[in-house]
Structure 1
Amino acid sequence: MRKDYDLIIRNASIYDGTGSDSFKNDIGISGDRITKLGTIPSTASANEIINAEGFAVSPGFIDVHSHDDWLVFSEPTMDGKVMQGVTTVVNGNCGWGVHPQSAARTPPDDSPVPVWNSYADYFKVLAERPPSVNVAMLAGFGPLRAGSIGNASEERPASDSELAQMCTWMREAMEAGCVGMSTGLVYEPDRYASLEEIATVARELKPFNGLYASHVRDEGETLLEAHAEAIEIGQRAGIRVQISHHKAQGQQWWGKVRDSLKQIERAQASGIDVTADQYPYIASSTRLAAMKQNGQFNSGVEIPKVLLAAVPDHAEWEGRSIEDLALEWDIPIDQTVDRILHQAGDGVFAVRFAINEEDVRAVLKHPSTMIGSDGLGYGSKPHPRHFGTFPRVLGHYARNEEVLSMKDAIHKMTGMPAAKFNLIDRGIIREDAFADLVIFDPLTIIDRATYENPRQNPTGVPWVIVNGSTTVRDSIHTGALAGYGIRRGQ
């Protein structure tokens, strides 16, 4: 006998993703959509019924700053994300795209990945090998530039023909369904591109209503100039702008986010659509080689605590600090970094403690900020943000510290990013919306991932539903692989 619904959630305290106050109601799900929001008779039948009394229900969290481009294939259950309530990831950030594949950054653990020849192919592979989360894609500028020039380390302007090739690839990426373009202007080859070169490629986004997301050129002394460049690129291309992981790194630059927040406010007041994302931690994480290239270990530079997160072929170094290894090897810090890179290669990732807690709070509560983990789920000691970002915002900053309200925090994770990244019928609880939902305990939700032991699931997230499929039940992953590639505007 056919059931009335596939899933009924009863007695839910609902945060609908719009930033409104919570309200009590029932939710009925059929297939991958919410088909009823309102009182559902007790006689109604379903394949599964969840009594959510005492729990909060919100749209599934959207991680707007993800680096799971390869991880969705090597770890399709995506435990690090889905167990904290993430139902959609936006990959391709910081210019680290996936096409041309020969020019793209490979996974640091050398895990096998499928082969594709375009972004259209990438979406086809996702359909054939679905993960537990939905995947939206930014087209990374880095592989486009490296693929057209032929050498990521070549410091020169692109020729007219090379620029034309980048534009062609970008147009094809947008036609395939990418939501925009990203740059990582502290990394090769993006760092060698001029504002005008980037803006020229970014103009290909306008007919598709794509956005420009940028890891800006500097997050220290010239933070404001770096933000201004990102905003200028958006203006020249006539597109929306997203500032990646808004912060000021380095103790001498702490407090500068007050100025960069005002800068965003002025741009918004003039009609420019510019927003930002943030992870709620005082440490960043990236490739050790990039830290070195950007002068973070130069003589005379104040060097904060740096932990090794992922070290190919040298797992025994993971979790240790650069300073500890320098003392053990009895050599200076810069030589220690060189030795690590020489022995382990470019796939070394590190965690750097250089962000101020008050800055984190100022950016987090600002209305221009949404939430993105910037997680890198590789190595034995990855940054805990990959496993705890969203529960940390809700449990620590919203509930315990009252930096922002629960409804505003949820909006920054759901409705706000869905609107910015053009993810139709996501990030909201209403009839006919996709049934991406997280059911959590507002009194107990909290992150458990630490720098010492990052691979820990949060507390207080008993159910996660992805496209109508119960993917987490009683805080245990069901093994469901119900995610798929989300094409722009679909």
Structure 2
Amino acid sequence: MAEQRVTLLQGGLVVDGSAAPGQPGDVLLVGERIAAVAAPGRIPAQLLAGDVEVIDCSGKVVAPGFIDVHTHDDAAAIEKADMLPKLSQGVTTVIVGNCGISLAPVVTDAPAAPLSLLGSGQFRHASMRAYAAAVDAARPGVNVAALLGHTALRMRHMPVLDRPANEAERAAMAADMQEAMDAGALGLSSGIFYEEAYAADVPELVAVATVAARNGGVYATHIRDELAGILPALQEAALTARQSGLPLVISHHKCAGPANWGRTRETLPLIEALARGQEMAMDVYPYTAGSTVLREDLVDGVIDILITGSKTHPEMGGRYLKDIAAQWGLSQQEAARRLKPGNACYFQMREDDVDRVITHPLSMIGSDGLPHDERPHPRLWGAFPRVLASYWRERGLLQLEQAIHKMSGMSARRFRIGERGLLAAGFMADVVVFDPKTVRDGATFEAPRQFSEGIEKVWVNGVLSYTGEARAAVARAGRFVRRGQGMPPSV
């Protein structure tokens, strides 16, 4: 048997992901697991016998590897397997299959929107088990955990999408849901915001979600309306989860559009009230712009819209819709129609609303980045260091321990990811070391593919996988992570 790697992270500020106060300490990694966490110099000598690599972490923070709970990295984990946009932020696990959009179980050479957000080259996995095998074969730079997408199920089993599923179609979707749960999926996601799933009713969703509930899963949803109808949309999501018996995660909670600005003062109390009767949480990204497919109904002539890609006019990528419309002598909606199909960033939130959501005790961090965009939203490369730089160090809206908890321990618990999210003996050795004085995002809307600063070293399953000095992935040690094995304690 090959000798296990032994690494001692010595003398850093250990912030363990539980939200407990950080303490100076040492962390010992043996093979793929954390062997010990102790005060400086207090790790038992017998654990330090043999060849030990000692890394001085003085002045640095040692934390659990971050868990990106909202990604669209389904295909990127196979096609762009170094996963550098995530590793370079300190992310060690990504959750794919969000917003109802997943690779499995759709097989096609020409995915329609919104599945096209995942690119076009990997729609060849007819089951979650096949997708998991493809991830393991690719050996990505980060771990991958997966939700099964409701929209993907509709597009596989329904000849038309402008109505609720009938009994036979619900049964077919439920069978795929059971297969996915047997393969280790975390649960179900939906995106009834999108036209392809908008006709789905609560009974359709419950028919599929109940299968996830029987198997210990979760339900994450891009709700029907994040604009004027946001309150009833939140109620609908809670009802679906309640009738299914599932914990609920509201995806990228926001109040979108100028008429909605300030309404987190209404939505967050509603979420709190609902959470008193059912398990509920939300994810959020630290930006005032979202990013998705180009849609005329999101073009209001007020907010700025940055075109990130256009199949019909690729030369317009990186320009604002209002400038393109003026050049063409068209209204912004007419210009958007001419540019479709395409993707865009929508500057549709206000900063105080984003602040309220990020600092809320029920929120955790997800990037929602789109790795196949020609000019991706900067959140793909910068979301997690941005939280540390802006919300903790510069503005003081979060304590360091709170920020890390929202990116690790809370995320693992809410999504039933076992043995990760905490620095604790016996847990998997997913670890990030960063400089608290310099950590910050580098990606911008003008230059989105930029490395973050201050992320010094990242271990995935005990393997040193990224160094800030090299600004490169130095190893790929990720794997498909299955639901619930070795569940973390309540944190």
**Aligned residue number for residue 125 of structure 1:** 134
1:137 is matched with 146
Matched, 1:430 2:439: no
State the one-letter code of the partner of 2:329. D
Shift, 1:303, TM fit? 3.3
Displacement of 1:379? 3.3
Q: d(CA) in 2 for partners of 1:46 and 1:308?
A: 53
Question: Which residue number in structure 2 is paired with residue 189 of structure 1?
Answer: 196
Q: Name the counterpart of 1:17.
A: 17
Give the aligned CA root-mean-square deviation in angstroms: 1.9
Aligned mate of 1:251, from 243, 258, 269:
258
Change (3 A) 1:381 1:478: closer
Would you say 1:392 and 2:380 are equivalent positions?
A: no
Give the drift of 1:49. 2.6
What is the CA deviation profile of residues 299-354 of structure 1, one whole-angstrom value per residue up to 9, with x for unaligned ones? xx44310001133475422210111111111222122111111xxx3xx2100001
Match of 1:458 in 2: 452
Give, in angstroms, the shift of residue 45 of structure 1. 4.6
- Larger mean Cα displacement after TM superposition, 18-27 or 107-116: 107-116
- Give 1:58's aligned residue: 63
Matches within 5 A, 1:296-307: 296-297=298-299, 301-307=300-306
The 1-side partners of 2:150 and 2:313 are apart by 31
Q: Distance in 2 between matches of 1:98 and 1:5?
A: 35
Contact 2:163-2:199 within 8 A present in 1 as well: yes
Instruction: Select the residue among 179, 186, 199 that pairs with 1:179.
Output: 186
**Structure 2 letter corresponding to 1:412:** K
Q: Secondary structure at the match of 2:336?
A: helix
Q: 468, 475, 483: which one pairs with 2:478?
A: 483
Equivalent residue letter for 1:287: V
1:158 and 2:157 equivalent? no
Q: Is contact 1:85-1:461 (8 Å) kept?
A: yes
Instruction: Name the SS for the 1:101 alignment partner.
Output: coil
Question: Given the alignment of the two structures, is residue 375 of structure 1 paired with residue 364 of structure 2, yes or no?
Answer: no
Letter of the structure 1 residue corresponding to residue 138 of structure 2: R
CA distance in 2, matches of 1:107, 1:480: 29
Cα 1:426/1:71, change in 2 over 3 Å = same
**TM-score, length of structure 1 as denominator length:** 0.93
Aligned counterparts of 1:2 and 1:101: Cα–Cα separation in 2? 40
Residue type of the alignment partner of 2:414: K
Letter in structure 2 aligned against 1:350:
A
For 1:469, the equivalent position in structure 2 comes to 463
Which residue in the other structure is 1:407 paired with?
A: 401
Q: TM-score of the superposition, structure 2-length normalised?
A: 0.93
Cα distance in 1 for residues equivalent to 2:233 and 2:79: 35
Asked if residue 225 in structure 1 is aligned to residue 232 in structure 2, the reply is yes
Question: Which residue does the alignment assign to 1:216?
Answer: 223
1:445 — aligned with what? 439
Give distance in 2, aligned partners of 1:205 and 1:385.
30
Asked if 1:322 corresponds to 2:296, the answer is no
Shift of 1:68: 0.3
**CA contact 1:157–1:193 (8 Å) conserved in 2:** yes
Offset at 1:150? 2.5
Unaligned runs of 5+ in 1: none
1:114, distance to aligned residue in structure 2 (A):
7.2
Q: Which residue of structure 2 lines up, in the alignment, with residue 27 of structure 1?
A: 27
Amino acid at match of 2:284: Q
SS at match of 2:392: helix
The residue type paired with residue 296 of structure 1 is: L
Q: Does 1:88 align with 2:93?
A: yes
In the alignment, the residues of structure 1 paired with residue 50 and residue 479 of structure 2 have an alpha-carbon distance, to the nearest angstrom, of: 28
What code does the residue aligned with 1:330 have? G
Q: Corresponding residue for 2:36?
A: 36
Cα distance in 2 between the residues matched to 1:349 and 1:474? 31
- The answer as to whether partners of 1:441 and 1:461 remain within 8 angstroms in 2 is yes
Quote the residue 2:488 is aligned against. none
Structure 1 residues 260, 114: closer, same or farther in 2, change over 3 A?
closer
Measure how far apart 1:47 and its partner are.
5.6
Question: In 2, distance between residues paired with 1:287 and 1:158?
Answer: 24
% identical equivalent positions: 37
How far did 1:3 drift?
6.9
Distance in 1 between the 2:116 and 2:79 partners?
A: 9
Residues in 1 aligned to 2:445 and 2:72: alpha-carbon distance in whole angstroms: 19
Are 2:117 and 2:293, in contact at CA under 8 Å, matched by a contact in 1?
no
Aligned with 1:462: secondary structure?
A: strand
Which letter maps to 1:349? N
Tell me if structure 2 keeps the 8 A contact 1:142–1:188: no
Q: In structure 2, do the counterparts of structure 1 residues 44 and 215 end up closer, same or farther at CA, with 3 Å as the change threshold?
A: same
Q: Higher mean Cα deviation, 96-105 or 425-434?
A: 96-105
Using the TM superposition, give the Cα deviation of residue 192 of structure 1 relative to its aligned residue in structure 2, in angstroms: 1.1
Q: Distance in 2 between matches of 1:145 and 1:159?
A: 11
The worse-fitting range, judged by mean Cα deviation, of 448-457 and 470-479 is 470-479
Residues of 1 paired with 2:253 and 2:330: CA distance? 34
Match of 1:277 in 2: 283
- Which deviates more from structure 2 when the two are superposed, residues 328-337 or residues 233-242? 328-337
The structural deviation recorded for 1:43 is: 7.0
Distance in 2, Cα, partners of 1:415 & 1:358: 26
CA shift in 2, pair 1:59/1:109, >3 Å:
closer
Q: Which moved more, 1:415-424 or 1:199-208?
A: 199-208
Distance 1:109 1:420, change over 3 A: closer
Cα shift readout 1:209-231 (whole Å, capped 9, x = no counterpart):
11110000111111111111110
Residue segments in structure 2 that go unaligned for 5+ positions in a row: 486-491
1:139-190: per-residue Cα shift (whole Å, max 9, x none)? 0000111111134xx3112121111111111111111111010111111321
Counterpart secondary structure, 2:107: helix
Q: Which residue is equivalent to 2:336?
A: 337
Structure 2 vs 1, CA of residues 160 and 109 (structure 1 numbering), >3 Å: closer, same or farther? closer
Aligned amino acid, residue 389 of structure 1: A
Inter-CA distance 466–4: structure 2 relative to 1 (3 Å threshold) = closer
